[in-house]
Amino acid sequence: MKLKEIYEIAIKRGLRKDPRSKAAIGKVLSDARKEYGKLSARAKKSFDKERFKHPYDDTRILHGDLTRDVKTILIGIDMEVGELVLADRMIEKGVGIDLVMAHHPEGKALAGFYHVMGMQVDILEKLGIEEEIGKDLLKERMAEVARNVSAANHMRAVDAARLLDIPFMCVHTPADNHVTSYLQNLFDRKKPKTVGNVMEILRGIPEYEIASGKNAGPFVLLGKEKDKAGKIAVDMTGGTEGSQRVFPRLSQAGVGTIIGMHFSEKHYTSAQKEHINIIVAGHISSDNLGLNLLLDELCKKEDLEIIPCSGFERVSRR
């Protein structure tokens, strides 16, 4: 399979699992074109035109010939300079690595990943929070994330890939869309009555079972296992955590239990006041689930060899 094909399939599958409507996704692409149209000629030269094609600013080919044949992928959650040197060392030892794939964004995908957070407005709207309220809640948080990212040395790993000439890409939101869709459909179908029932379902998923054996499995952050689960919302896509001010709105919308990858201390403090059950499924374990579901789709076309590292473990459902 060509490098370009892997990228395009990841995008295509991510779109299929996207919680937004086709119209909402189309608007994001249209807005990107409008943004481009208002720029000066000089600014247009540096505009990332991939934003015209899909809404995943955190998913990019960062280095490599698009026509490169790929049979073996070294893949992990965080693939940085150390992992690229590891790949180079493995190649020296005769391991035929054709591509290094990261889940978390690097390079330009890291610098612009806060753009994907806009999808959280549509997710909140589906849960019963009006669009304008969702935008207001998210605006401050997006600006905060943008400021934090702006200070990062985001090209370190990409520079290492370029100097070692190792094809390098990252796939973030398309994978996160998979885990969100999978879990939300699972809970909608099984309709667990209590928080304990929710935990039983999570523990039965291989990625979370593996994580539990490493003291990194799901746990109840707020609430008790005997508590009623109520309406369950899976919050695992949209770039990163949303606004801490969202919890009162979710409570008013009738959400009884939120399942997320992780929650900051500020989010925890805010949620405490709203009597909502919160379950931390686990960050790396949830990333594993999303990547595995996406890789199952990729491997349908061609049986790629996957070498897991950096917190990733391959679980195939094919």
How far apart are the C-alpha atoms of 206 and 201, rounded to whole Å? 11
pLDDT at 107: 96
pLDDT at 12: 97
Residue with tokens 């789709």: 297
How far apart are the C-alpha atoms of 176 and 14, rounded to whole Å? 8
- Closest to 276 measured CA to CA, from 243, 241, 240, 233: 233
Task: Give the pLDDT of the chain (318 residues) as one tens digit per residue.
Answer: 999 999 999 999 999 999 999 999 999 999 999 999 999 999 999 999 999 999 999 999 999 999 999 999 999 999 999 999 999 999 999 999 999 999 999 999 999 988 998 999 998 888 888 889 989 988 888 888 899 888 889 999 999 999 999 999 999 999 999 999 999 999 999 999 999 999 999 999 999 999 999 999 999 999 999 999 999 999 998 888 888 888 888 888 889 999 999 988 988 888 888 889 999 999 999 999 999 999 999 999 888 999 999 999 999 998
Chain region(s) in the chain for CATH 3.40.1390.30: 179-283
Residue 249 Cα distances to 81, 138, 220, angstroms: 41, 13, 21
pLDDT at 219: 97
pLDDT at 102: 98
Residues 179-283: name the CATH superfamily: NIF3 (NGG1p interacting factor 3)-like (3.40.1390.30)
pLDDT at 101: 98
Alpha helices per DSSP H over the chain: 3-16, 22-37, 41-45, 81-92, 107-111, 119-126, 131-150, 156-164, 173-190, 195-203, 206-212, 247-252, 265-272, 283-301
Cβ contacts of residue 69 below 8 Å, gap of 6+? Answer: 1, 2, 98
pLDDT at 253: 86
How far apart are the C-alpha atoms of 262 and 236, rounded to whole Å? 9
Burial of 252 (0-12, 13-18, 19+ CB in 10 A): exposed
Residue with tokens 């295509």: 12
